[in-house]
Amino acid sequence: MIRPPTVDLEIVLGVAFFAESVFFKDAAAGLVVRQEGGLKAVKPEQYNEKTPLLAAYYSYWSDLPLDGHFQAWIIPHRGMAAWPTNDGCTLLIAGWPFAEFEERRGDIEGNYMSVVDLVPEFAERVRGAKREERFLGMAVPGYFRRPYGPGWALVGDAGYNKDFITAQGISDAFRDAEICVTALDEWLSGARPFDAAMADYQATRDAHVLPMYEFTAELASLEPPPPELASVLAAAAGNQEAMDGFARVNAGVTSPAEYFSEENVGRILAAAERG
């Protein structure tokens, strides 16, 4: 719980973008710090918008062991991934381009299994397994929002969102929260005006996430990689350092901007030429 000094402002961190209530605390997502006289809806400027790119459904399966491994299959215009989760179950997610969402939503199981069937040896195991839950589906639009205004601030998905395919949202939300509260601390301690501190929060966030935002959109389109990317990935195959680097990009440790920089790409291509 953050308790700012008494100011005639409402300060909301995280989730209360639509809220009209007074004090609340949300265990999953953050906290409201303080409000005076009710929380007004704010309408932040939205930019870099993208419509949903991927429609995906997942469920939990028993008797589908993966020996602790994460597995993913990227097939042009289809994608599938599976990983072990709690209670001995495996989460299996399958998806197709959002452009096909409407035509496929009437038969979720059939369309899900049609993706699974693209990998016959795995499909056989899935058909021998048991689905333990209903299907859950999702499609996420991409956006950046100006994350502050008079009396309010946004972190996490409320301020910036993208497709889930790169699984970055939780780390992003934590990082936003840290940068945001650092900016708020600068303001509340009198070091900087609110707008200056929060404009830096926005700029830092945007600079950090933009390369991953574009990389995520590229993956979520389920299109084959464009020729330049395909040639880098082909050159990276078998080069342990380059493959580890690409794994770090997908884990959100290394920025795609760094990995796909002219210098690093040149290094990868040169190593491939040398054999």
User: Which residues of this protein are in contact with ligand FAD, per CB under 6 A?
Assistant: 14-16, 18-19, 24, 26, 28-30, 138, 140, 156-158, 164, 167-171, 173
* Least spacing, CB of residue 15 vs ligand FAD, in Å: 3
Pairing of strands 54-62, 136-138: antiparallel
Q: How many helices and strands, by DSSP H and E, does the chain display? A: 9, 14
| Residues 45 and 33: beta-carbon distance below 8 Å | no
Pairing of strands 25-26, 30-34: antiparallel
* Least spacing, CB of residue 163 vs ligand FAD, in Å: 8
Nearer to ligand FAD, 124 or 178 (CB): 178
* Least spacing, CB of residue 258 vs ligand FAD, in Å: 20
Q: Residue 232's CB: how many other CB atoms inside 10 A?
A: 19
* Least spacing, CB of residue 171 vs ligand FAD, in Å: 6
Structural tokens at position 241: 């350092």
Q: Which residue type is seen at 274?
A: R
CA angle, 106 as apex, 108 and 64 as ends, to 5°? 10
* Least spacing, CB of residue 162 vs ligand FAD, in Å: 8
Nearer to ligand FAD, 209 or 242 (CB): 209
Nearer to ligand FAD, 54 or 268 (CB): 54
Structural tokens at position 10: 């409402």
**Cα(71)–Cα(121) distance, rounded to whole angstroms?**
13
Q: Which residue type is seen at 13?
A: L
Nearer to ligand FAD, 83 or 260 (CB): 83
Tokens 């496929």 correspond to: 104
* Least spacing, CB of residue 147 vs ligand FAD, in Å: 11
Q: Which residue is nearest to ligand FAD (CB)?
A: 169
Q: Which residue type is seen at 256?
A: P
Nearer to ligand FAD, 136 or 270 (CB): 136
* Least spacing, CB of residue 80 vs ligand FAD, in Å: 14
**Cα(82)–Cα(59) distance, rounded to whole angstroms?**
10
Nearer to ligand FAD, 83 or 192 (CB): 83
Nearer to ligand FAD, 163 or 186 (CB): 163
CA distances from 23 to 7, 11, 32, 102, 207 (A): 16, 11, 6, 40, 33
